[in-house]
Amino acid sequence: MAVVKPFKGIRPKIDLASKVASLPYDVMNREEAKKMAEGNKYSFLHVVRSEIDVDDSVGQYDETVYKTARKNLDKMIEDGILVQDEVPKFYIYRQIMDGRVQTGLVGCTSIDDYLKDIIKKHEFTRPQKEVDRINNFDYCDANTAPIFLTYRKNDKLNKIINDWIKFHRPVYNFTSEDEITHIVWVMDDDNTNIRINRIFEKIDYLYIADGHHRSASSVKVGLKRREKNPNYTGKEEFNYFLSVIFPDEDLFIMDYNRVVKDLNGLSEEEFMEKIKEKFDVEEYNGKGQYKPIEKHTFGMYLNNKWYKLIAKDGIYNTNDPVDRLDVSILQENLLGPILGIENPRTDKRIDFVGGIRGLEELERRIAKDMKIAFSMYPTTMEDLLSIADAGRVMPPKSTWFEPKLRSGLFVHRLRD
């Protein structure tokens, strides 16, 4: 059973929500964050990417950065930009992108559920990225960004959420610069909140869709607080972390494409001969770029030409949920053995391009600094759930979710 509880949200004043809300900290670099927040003192980037407010000579992971995050968060609260609700509540967060709607419940989930694998994972994390968010959360004494969770749809929970939306006005309703609409409702009825608690008690598992580093960091901050408070009861706020939880049917995974710097010492002719051992290769003569429309097909851009690759039978195990992933097929049959990318997590010769940037970005990267690009068919939600259920992990950069959750609409204090 999953534990999901309401919390006293720290939220923007109604008229400032659109100015406060920011993209997640990990979809931009320092320079991009500084540009996004330029001229907007309300932007929550001043908290989640607080290095934009210190001198460029100061390292991104310097203690000054995290102290600045805390100072900026406190100032936003002191100035009334952010206001804390007086009693615990659930919230509904709806996003609309290109006419597609995803509606999640905002609440707090349990670090014990994470440790017991009731909250399931599908990716490894990198220690340096964990330490960064540990410091941000610890210095701010708050979860400054939510974890993106999912669950197999539950009709009773869907009905409660849909009925609330039907009969109540939202507190926020705005469209961000990227043309995504963000709508928030506050659920301030105790009986409704109790019903939600009871439904989650009958849901076996929650799944991390996006935010593995944030969730791991949140848990480690909670464990750190437990060490400092050996008489903890388990009810303290540091035992929980901020989450937005969506039904699986609402979520959309985009392609996560690859670009590689060179052909690993091979000529183009040698490379083409080698890939034909594992893939059927067709030159693409259609308009624009080749975008795969089914599993086990890939686009390849080399020497200003697009090709369609089709994985041959027998090169992957159809019964293995990880081996049959397209990202695995490409890695194990082409990127690794032919291009020498043995560890895509650390190899500097490979880079990854989220589908939100379009396939034109692949062509731009080839013209700029890369040699070859691969367009991917997106991983499916069922792939993600089945791998997590099997206790397995996906290869790096397997999923790109859109739209991204905005930071700053909800903050969870780690103390009562």
Q: What residue type is 384 in one-letter code? A: L
pLDDT of residue 124: 85
Cα dist. 66→34, 228, 406, 415 in Å? Answer: 16, 20, 20, 18
- Bridge pairing between strands 240-247 and 147-151: parallel
Give the chain as a 3 state SS string: CCCEECECCEEECHHHHHHHCECCHHHCCHHHHHHHHCCCCCCCHHHHCHHHHCCCCCCCCCHHHHHHHHHHHHHHHHCCCEEECCCCEEEEEEEEECCEEEEEEEEEEEHHHHHCCCEECCCCCCHHHHHHHHHHHHHHCEECCCEEEEECCCHHHHHHHHHHHHHCCCCEEEECCCCCEEEEEEECCHHHHHHHHHHHHCCCCEEEEECHHHHHHHHHHHHHHHHHCCCCCCCCHHHEEEEEEEEHHHCCEECEEEEECCCCCCCHHHHHHHHCCCEEEEECCCCCCCCCCCCCEEEEEECCEEEEEEECCCCCCCCCCCCCCHHHHHHHHHHCCCCCCCCCCCCCCEEEEEHHHCCHHHHHHHHHCCCEEEECCCCCHHHHHHHHHCCCCCCCCCCEECCCCCECCCEEECCC
pLDDT of residue 54: 97
Q: How far apart are CA 352 and CA 121, in angstroms?
A: 21
pLDDT of residue 289: 97
pLDDT of residue 127: 83
Q: Which residue has the tokens 């949140």?
A: 218
Residue 225 corresponds to which tokens in the numbers above? 């607080």
Q: 51-70 burial, b if ≥16 CB within 10 A, otherwise e?
A: bbbeeeeeeeeeeebbebbb
- Bridge pairing between strands 305-311 and 412-413: unpaired
Answer for the pair 242, 410: CB distance below 8 angstroms, yes or no. Answer: yes
Q: Which residue has the tokens 């720290």?
A: 10
Residue 264 corresponds to which tokens in the numbers above? 């690993």
Q: How far apart are CA 144 and CA 133, in angstroms?
A: 9
Per-residue pLDDT of the chain (416 residues; tens, 9 = 90+): 899 999 999 999 999 999 999 999 988 999 999 999 999 999 999 999 999 999 999 999 999 999 999 999 999 999 999 999 999 999 999 999 999 999 999 999 999 999 999 999 998 888 888 999 999 999 999 999 999 999 999 999 999 999 999 999 999 999 999 999 999 999 999 999 999 999 999 999 999 999 999 999 999 999 999 999 999 999 999 999 999 999 999 999 999 999 999 999 999 999 999 999 999 999 999 999 999 999 999 999 999 999 999 999 999 999 999 999 999 999 999 999 999 999 998 899 999 999 999 999 999 999 999 999 999 999 999 999 999 999 999 988 899 999 999 999 999 999 97
Residue 249 corresponds to which tokens in the numbers above? 């049917």
Domain boundaries of the chain, sorted by first residue: 4-252+402-413, 256-377
Q: How far apart are CA 309 and CA 112, in angstroms?
A: 44
Q: How far apart are CA 310 and CA 313, in angstroms?
A: 9
pLDDT of residue 1: 86
